[in-house]
């Protein structure tokens, strides 16, 4: 059965496996989420469920939102997200999903909004090179340089690296394995980093990739003794 849940990024930490190896993890407060809608192929044309996360006061919702959410009981939720799953028949409107929908060893794709970094130049935004810092170079060391030919085609081609807004966009990190699950606290620890700042909303779903190699508790640990993950 496919699984999905909405969560909030708490932050990063590290835990130790049975061998004393360090595993860097991101702690996510996953759920509790309420099933606010179940879509079927017969009615909507596709199978999906809609989950709601984080309680919100009734005065902060408009009438259409209130009417929609009250179909699932008294669950007034701030964030709604639809997940397309193969089999939605096991879900009913009003069901509550917690962190225990996932288990240790599962692989998930985590989607979130990356940190916004404002207006950035081409060096920070696209990893472009800079001009020489000496030997007569003018005050244009971090400028973008040439943007195209002069007379032909007399325009800047699409896709040219330019300064602009950096970050604050949807990013998905795939194939992260679940290291630890705490149903009592609704906490999930996944290996590695996930997009977004602390307190950001993230969406967890079964990975679309198939990992043929089963990772152990210390998988991916560096063999370099200079790195923290290799120390005992």
pLDDT number for residue 127 = 92
Beta-carbon count within 10 A of 183 CB: 13
Instruction: Give the residue among 216, 195, 208 at the shortest CA–CA distance from 28.
Output: 195
pLDDT at 89: 83
Strand ranges across the sheet with 48-55: 77-83, 48-55, 33-39, 96-97
Instruction: Count CB-CB contacts under 10 A for residue 205.
Output: 19
Residues 196 and 93 in one domain: yes
For position 112, what pLDDT does the model report?
Answer: 95
Residues 88 and 177 in one domain: yes
Q: Name the one residue in this structure whose structure tokens are 């909405």.
A: 6
162, pLDDT greater than 70: yes
Rounded to 5°, angle at Cα 100 from 99 and 101: 90
pLDDT digits (tens, 9 = 90+) for 135-145: 988 888 888 88
The CATH number assigned to the domain holding 15 equals 2.40.30.10
Residue 39 shares a structural domain with residue 98: yes
Q: Residue 130: pLDDT band by 50, 70, 90 thresholds?
A: confident
DSSP structure string for 108-177: EEEEEEPPP-EEE-HHHHH------SSTT--S-TTS----S-SSSS-SPPTT----EEES-SEEEEEEEE
* Residues 150 and 104 reside in one and the same domain: no
Same domain for 121 and 111, yes or no, is: no
138, 161: one domain: yes
Q: Is the pLDDT of residue 227 over 80?
A: no
Residue 113 has pLDDT above 70, yes or no: yes
pLDDT of residue 192: 92
Residues 43 and 150 in one domain: no
Q: How large is the average pLDDT for residues 87-115?
A: 90
- Dihedral sign for Cα atoms in the order 190, 192, 198, 203: negative
Q: Taking a C-beta distance cutoff of 8 angstroms, is the pair 98, 4 a contact?
A: no
Question: What is the per-residue pLDDT for 190?
Answer: 94
Residue span of the structural domain in which 58 resides: 4-115+169-230
Determine how β-strand 48-55 pairs with β-strand 22-30. unpaired
| 184-224 pLDDT tens trace | 999 999 999 999 999 999 999 999 887 655 555 555 566 66
**Residue 226 and residue 136 share a domain:** no
Decide if pLDDT at 154 tops 80.
yes
Q: How confident is the model at residue 13 (pLDDT cuts 50, 70, 90)?
A: very high
99 & 202 share domain? yes
Per-residue confidence (pLDDT) for residue 123, from 0 to 100: 93
Strand, helix or coil for residue 11: strand
Residue 222: per-residue pLDDT? 62
Band the pLDDT of 27: cuts 50, 70, 90: very high
- Report the pLDDT value the prediction gives residue 108, as an integer from 0 to 100: 93
In this structure, the answer to whether residues 184 and 84 fall within a common structural domain is yes
Domain count, the chain: 2
Question: Other CB atoms closer than 10 Å to residue 172's CB: what's the count?
Answer: 14
Closest listed residue to residue 85, CA positions, set 208, 227, 184: 208
Average pLDDT taken over every residue of the chain:
87
In this structure, the answer to whether residues 159 and 53 fall within a common structural domain is no
**Please, which pLDDT band fits residue 24 given cuts at 50, 70 and 90?**
very high
Co-location of 81 and 50 in the same domain: yes
pLDDT classification of 51: cutoffs 50, 70, 90: very high
């Amino acid at each position: 059965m496919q699984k999905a849940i909405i969560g909030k990024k708490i932050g990063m930490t590290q835990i130790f496996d049975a061998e004393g190896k360090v595993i860097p993890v991101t702690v996510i407060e996953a759920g509790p989420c309420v099933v606010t809608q179940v879509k079927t192929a017969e009615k909507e044309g596709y199978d999906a469920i809609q989950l709601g996360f984080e309680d919100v006061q009734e005065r902060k919702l408009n009438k259409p939102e209130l009417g929609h959410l009250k179909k699932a009981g008294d669950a007034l939720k701030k964030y709604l997200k639809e997940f397309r799953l193969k089999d939605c028949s096991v879900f009913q409107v009003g069901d509550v999903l917690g962190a225990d929908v996932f288990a240790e060893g599962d692989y998930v794709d985590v989607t979130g909004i990356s940190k916004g970094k404002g207006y950035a130049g081409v060096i920070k935004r696209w990893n472009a090179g800079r001009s020489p810092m000496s030997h007569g170079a003018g005050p244009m060391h971090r400028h973008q340089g040439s943007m195209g030919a002069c007379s032909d085609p007399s325009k800047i081609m699409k896709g040219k690296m330019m300064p602009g807004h950096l970050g604050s966009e949807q990013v998905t990190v795939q194939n992260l394995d679940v290291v630890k699950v705490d149903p009592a606290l609704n906490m999930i620890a996944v290996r590695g980093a996930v997009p977004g700042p602390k307190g950001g909303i993230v969406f967890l779903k079964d990975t679309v990739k198939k990992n043929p190699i089963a990772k152990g508790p210390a998988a991916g640990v560096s063999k370099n003794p200079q790195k923290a993950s290799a120390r005992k």
